[in-house]
A and B are shown apart, each in its own frame.
Chain A
Amino acid sequence: MAREQRLTEVFVELADTLVEEFDVVDFLQVLTERCVELIDTDAAGLMLDDQRGNLQVVAYTDESARLLELFELQKAEGPCLDCFATGQVIANVDLADARARWPVFTEAALGLGFTYSHALPLRLRRKVIGALNLFSLERKALTDDHVAVAQGLADIATIGLLHERALRDQVLLAEQLQTALHSRIVIEQAKGVLSARAGISVSEAFSRMRTHARRTGEQLTSVAEAVAAGRLHPGNLQPTPDAR
């Protein structure tokens, strides 16, 4: 079956990444993209505890400003926040019935054409360090199998964040989370710099940096830092084949 084949391939891809030197934000980004593909949803975002008591977006599958806004406003209300607070899976929320529960969030999500939303916790033993948020356009509930795969991917995200030895240690967890958040900001800044220099969209800018990282074996964050510092010029970054 084609999907089983794809599941296997993604499993191998993620596992292979985890045993090498890898860039955490890049890894989380890939993970959200695979999520959308494997679970038959249309958009995904990954939010992490910033340790100031709030969730911050560190990976998302679409550059649309309105989708970003949808994640941003979940700092105050929404399935992600509930999931983060309780550590419980929130699956198959029919947005048509969700207004009472999350008025602002539901309005924004419906406005984007979404019909269902789901949130899965990033759990580390008894702690919840973030949440994986999924959205569907089609009015089709996720099967138990899909939800299990989604939780598996969320667990892999947690492992990716905390892959270092002795990460029972609260100290290293704090350092890792803060570093992931900082890295995401560098990537966003670099997207701006590259888009302005090369006259391309921020989405294309991200693709080019990621392609360059893959090609050279450098970490995505290092590439982004080089772009932001002006050490890496657009000329060194190839356009991606099906650029939008």
Chain B
Amino acid sequence: MDAGDGRWVGVASKRAAEILRAAWGESSDVDGLPGRLAAACVRSLPVTGVGMALMTDEGPAGIIAATDGAALVLEELQFTLGEGPCVDASGTGRPVLQPDLARTAPLRWPAFAEGALEAGIRAVFAFPLRVGAIRIGVLDLYRDEAGTLSPDALTEALSFADAATLVLLHAQAGSPATETFHELDERAEVHQATGVISVQAEVGMAEALVLLRARAFAEDRPVGDVAREVLSGAVDFGKAEDSG
């Protein structure tokens, strides 16, 4: 399978694209993708461990990856206690960066703080995995020592979050892995078209985005082009039509 350099447009998505390509290149086992992504994240960043959890509209829906015991504890705590930086991040859709847990966590999340500190976790950086209103999950990085993420590390972490968002989006929809690697496009028209498709096809936003990306991939065209056609009315994803 060739992820194809030519498909990767948009300066913003280059690093996320590289990350995805590398994870795909390691093995063609689709189910193992989130785990490989998490492992790559630990190698690439000055963090001790990484966890990833799935979210649905009803709330936390499962632990997808954990690179070590403490990462697993981090994920489990959020499920059992329903509190903590990861819970806040996935619930509010805002990243929650906590460079010094011992100082800030006991006041803010007392039950979580106890469990996390006991597991040796001293800093947590939780990134919601989302595309606007589409909330898929959360990527949690932890450190066994207090300390902030440098701007470069933050940039890298955000690129991993972008990659993880795509992986989970497509995994949840059961898409062929190849569609996951079709270009990322963040322009306004793509998001508007997602909304339009969700109404036309009578599906949720996550599914709408996957449909848009699948169509672009099938026709070997940039996502932005298909999006523009959706907005102009040239393409309709309504159920009455054969949406391929």
Contact = CB atoms under 8 A, between A and B. Distances in A.
A170 interface: yes
Interface stretch (B41-49, B128-136, B214-222): B128-136
B188 A57 contact: yes
Nearest to B237: A196
Nearest to A68: B188
A143 B99 CA distance: 46
A228 B198 CA distance: 9
A65 interface: yes
Contacts of B15: 52-53
Instruction: Bin the interface of chain B by size.
Output: 35 or more
A68 B86 CA distance: 34
A190 B199 CA distance: 11
Interface string B174-191: 000000000000111101
A12 B200 CA distance: 43
Interface of A: 50-54, 56-57, 65, 68, 72, 75-76, 170-171, 174-175, 178-179, 182, 184-197, 202, 224-225, 228-229
Given A171-B148, A186-B133, A202-B231, A194 B155 contact: no
Nearest to B188: A188
Interface string B158-202: 110010000000000000000000000011110111111111100
Contacts of B96: 175
Given A76-B11, A185-B132, A228-B132, A68 B195 contact: no
B94 interface: yes
Contacts of A178: 94-95, 158
Contacts of B133: 185-186, 189-190, 224-225, 228-229
Contacts of B99: 171
B205 interface: yes
Residue among A51, A171, A225 with the highest chain B CB neighbour number at 10 A: A171
Contacts of A190: 133, 195
Contacts of B132: 182, 184-189, 228
A190 B93 CA distance: 16
A54 B12 contact: yes
